[in-house]
Amino acid sequence: MSLELLSEDVVPEHARGVKREAREFAAEHIAPNAEAYFRSGEYPWEVLEAGMDAGLVAQDVGEEYGGRGLDLAQILAVAEEFYRADAGIALTLQLASFGAEILEQYGTDDQKERFLRPVAENDQLTGLAVSEPDVGSDLAGMQTTAEEDGDGYVLNGEKYWIGNGVEADWVTVYAKTGDTDDRYMNYSLFAVPTDADGYDAEHIPEKMGMRASKQAHVVLDDCRVPGENLIGSEGAGFMMLADFFNHGRVVVGGHGLGLAAAALEEAWAFVHEREEFGRHVADFQAVQHGLADMRTEFEAARALNYRAAEKVKHYDNPGLWAAMAKTKSTEVAVQNAERGMQFHGGRSVLADRRIARVYRDVRIPVVYEGANEIQRNLIYRQSGE
């Protein structure tokens, strides 16, 4: 008795084709390699390259610059399929163009040709450098500085948890350029080549989950970039980033949906095969109720997430809907993983079990793209708008 989740009915019609592509790719390339990459903790270059060949990496960039122009609902549909197969590899695939959307929206034509096109054409990788060793969710509290000097800027500071900080060809760096009373107008964004003098990155210590995705500790020591590498207007970094994260949080909701689906599918399959006290574990009413709750919460989160995608697309109170979708979907993933572990009993702690891998991975999306406690602040404040 199998359970098939992530149906197409709630997905907008225009996103169903790429969703099928993502499901087929995940079954062929992600799921079979998930355990090996989790164990090794190595960067999954060959899966990433296969994703590029399949047209499923960095394709949120517009066709004008070499991408497919996939919109938010399409990227969400891809995300839930990838994360259902494996969160670590999935994160690597989606981080390949992380932050590029900002440059596409606010950058100059020259910047788009120099930085955006190579990413869309899968010749380069990029990343977004916002968080710092001592500051995470407080976007107006970052300490890295960018001081104007002649015809350029000199960056100093540290960034932490930076996806592709080592592997990327360039990263978008969020740095303080002002010191006004309005703390939200003091930050700017810069395209920083990773081979620039003064840019140094190393992988952070090994993580307990999503081990196939690599994050870096970046040190900027008098790192000079030309003035033309400023993205958009000086002082507008916070506003640009806040808008970008509305899109990103909907996609992170998709991360949660994929993980929640994986946990439920694993638990469902296990309890229908496992026998205790002369009958299948699934025959116990307590287990049936647990599975019913897992399914109900999953479907509720998924409906909210796709509604949020539409709200963000049309700028209809996007911050509220993005925060609700991210919070609900990632927390349902945690709940489903915990219950799935319980239903697996002692076998849940075996390292080769998919449910154990999911259990480790779900701890991460409730924190990245703004911890869920911060999302609740946003939900409360923006509910009255």
Candidates 109, 176, 168; CA nearest to 139 is 176
Backbone angles phi, psi at 191, to 5 degrees: -85, 115
Q: Kindly report the CA angle at 30 between 272 and 296, in degrees rounded to 5?
A: 40
Q: How far apart (Å, rounded) are the C-alpha atoms in residues 83 and 250? A: 14
Assigned token pair, 137: 């969710």
- Asked whether the CA dihedral 264, 265, 268, 271 is positive or negative, the reply is negative
Candidates 51, 52, 69, 72; CA nearest to 60 is 69
SS3 154: strand
SS (HEC) of 248-286:
HHHHHHHHHHHHHHHHHHHHHHHHHHCEECCEEHHHCHH
Active site residue 369: yes
Q: How far apart (Å, rounded) are the C-alpha atoms in residues 157 and 221? A: 7
Q: How far apart (Å, rounded) are the C-alpha atoms in residues 312 and 103? A: 19
Assigned token pair, 311: 């709200």
Find the catalytic residue in 81, 104, 234, 369: 369
Q: How far apart are the first and last CA of the chain?
A: 47
On the CB side of 206, CA atoms within 13 Å amount to 9
SS3 98: coil
Q: How far apart (Å, rounded) are the C-alpha atoms in residues 359 and 178? A: 42
Assigned token pair, 16: 């169903």
Which of the residues are catalytic? 369
